[in-house]
Homo-oligomer: A and B are copies of this chain.
Amino acid sequence: MELVKIYQCLCDVTRLRLLHVLTQGPLCVCDFQTVLAEPQVKISKHLGYLRTRGLVEATRRGNWMVYALPAKPSAELRANLACLQDCVAEDARFQRDLARLRRLDSTCAVAKAGGVSAPATGRKRCC
């Protein structure tokens, strides 16, 4: 039963946060680390979990692995992702993730515009 598999994926906070962030667009592991503020192993493992179950897709882009929601999500997945978004609309933790994502995106945009070569931390971005 496809649906149960979806719920199994949804029943961990980290995975919920991953999927929630992914509704905003594809992202690589290192950016997830920043956005969720969780260690690499944790992120990577949960993405792997989601991937083997078909809830996310991954493509390599040089050193980076970019994860995204499936190109053609099943009706069940679509319904549940929509439901999830609804449910966390007012949840502080999930909104904090989105805030950090936006911050990431904006520094990325600046970098793209040639404004600065790299953020103060010296961390390389994979924009």
Contact = CB atoms under 8 A, between A and B. Distances in A.
A13 interface: yes
Interface residues of A, number: 21
A83 B10 CA distance: 14
Interface stretch (A29-37, A43-51, A72-80, A118-126): A72-80
> How many copies altogether?
2
A12 to B, nearest CB: 7
Nearest to A12: B4
A11 interface: yes
A121 B53 CA distance: 44
Interface of A: 1, 3-4, 7-8, 10-13, 16, 75-76, 79-80, 83-84, 86-88, 91, 93
